[in-house]
Amino acid sequence: MIYSILNYLDRKGLIDRASAHCDIPCGIYDPGPALIAAVSVVRLMDIAHDGASEDPVALANLRARCTLRKEEEAEKVKQEIRVIWGDYFKAPLLEAHPNVHGLVHSIMQKASACKQDVHREDGLALVELVNEFAEIFWKTKSVQTVRKTCPYPPQLKLVYPVLAD
Amino acid sequence: MHPMLSPGTFALFRRSASYRDGDVLLVEHPRFGRIVKRAIDVGKEALWLEGANANSLSRETMGPIEQRLVQGKLVYQIARKK
């Protein structure tokens, strides 16, 4: 009851806020960048396989660029997920979602597989793993999610938060 | 300050003429803004801060805090029901 009253006053902007967060002044966590990076890995694999250019030098150049960027995007997936897992997930959240450790480990392994080779199925599996991670993340914030096809190639189903206002 | 203070907790702070080691303080930090941390090594003119969590910013990172930057000490808290 008292909390509800205070919460109402807080929403009216009548209570000053202070941060007791451990990673001052950030506190901003979102799996979105990891998802975009994972989709980019698949897209770069597709472009590398496409090989539309008939000029062998141009094709080699294109594939070199794709390989380099794929490496960077896969590493970005790992970095983004590591930060959320290591900094955002505290003991109570880990107890509520005990599969997070295994899921994060799977993401690390799959992202490395994507760096090592150009198997599209690895890229798709990486996107799915990060999707699962995103669903758990938003669940910890009591935010509903929906899977929608991203409006750009490779047009895969991604997890988006359903935000109020 | 987890697990001592969880997100969304309402906290009441009271100004005091002096503070002691272990007091949980509301501080207007010149670099990190309005923060809540525990006082350690309280001196006449300055004190140091630490978090309640192993991942917290170190006391060296937060630096010595002048007494005038302390807004009050925690006297009551109401946490969100789980």
The 10s digit of each residue's pLDDT in A146-159 is 999 999 999 999 99
User: Which CATH architecture fits A29-155?
Assistant: Up-down Bundle (1.20)
Helix ranges (DSSP H) in chain A: 2-11, 32-50, 56-83, 91-96, 100-116, 120-140
The 10s digit of each residue's pLDDT in A82-118 is 989 988 888 888 999 999 999 999 999 999 999 999 9
Q: How far, in Å, CA of B54 to CA of A156, rounded?
A: 39
Tell me if B68 is assigned to some domain. yes
CA-nearest of B7, B41, B45 to B22 is B41
Looking at chain B from residue 2 to 41, which residues have their Cβ under 8 Å from any Cβ of chain A?
Answer: 2-3, 5, 7, 9-11, 26, 32-37
Range of the domain at B26: 10-78
Predicted local confidence at residue B33, as pLDDT: 84
Q: Looking at this predicted complex, what is its ipTM?
A: 0.80
Tell me if B3 is assigned to some domain. no
The 10s digit of each residue's pLDDT in A91-100 is 888 999 999 9
Tell me if B5 is assigned to some domain. no
Residue B53 pLDDT exceeds 50: yes
Out of B9, B57, B81, closest to residue A24 by CB: B57
Please tell me which residue of chain B has the smallest CA distance to A21.
Answer: B1
Backbone CA torsion sign across B57, B63, B69, B74: positive
Tell me if B48 is assigned to some domain. yes
For chain A, the domains span 29-155
- Supply the CATH number for residue B62's domain: 2.10.109.10
Closest Cα of chain B to A87: distance in Å?
8
Structurally, chain B folds into a number of domains equal to 1
For residues A91 and B38, which has the higher predicted lDDT (pLDDT)?
A: B38
> Residue B30: which residues within 8 A CB-CB, separation 6 or more?
B69
Predicted local confidence at residue A4, as pLDDT: 86
Q: A18: which chain B residues are within 8 Å (Cβ-Cβ)?
A: 11, 26, 34-36
Closest Cα of chain B to A33: distance in Å?
23
Size of interface A-B (CB pairs under 8 A): 52
Residue A66 pLDDT exceeds 90: yes
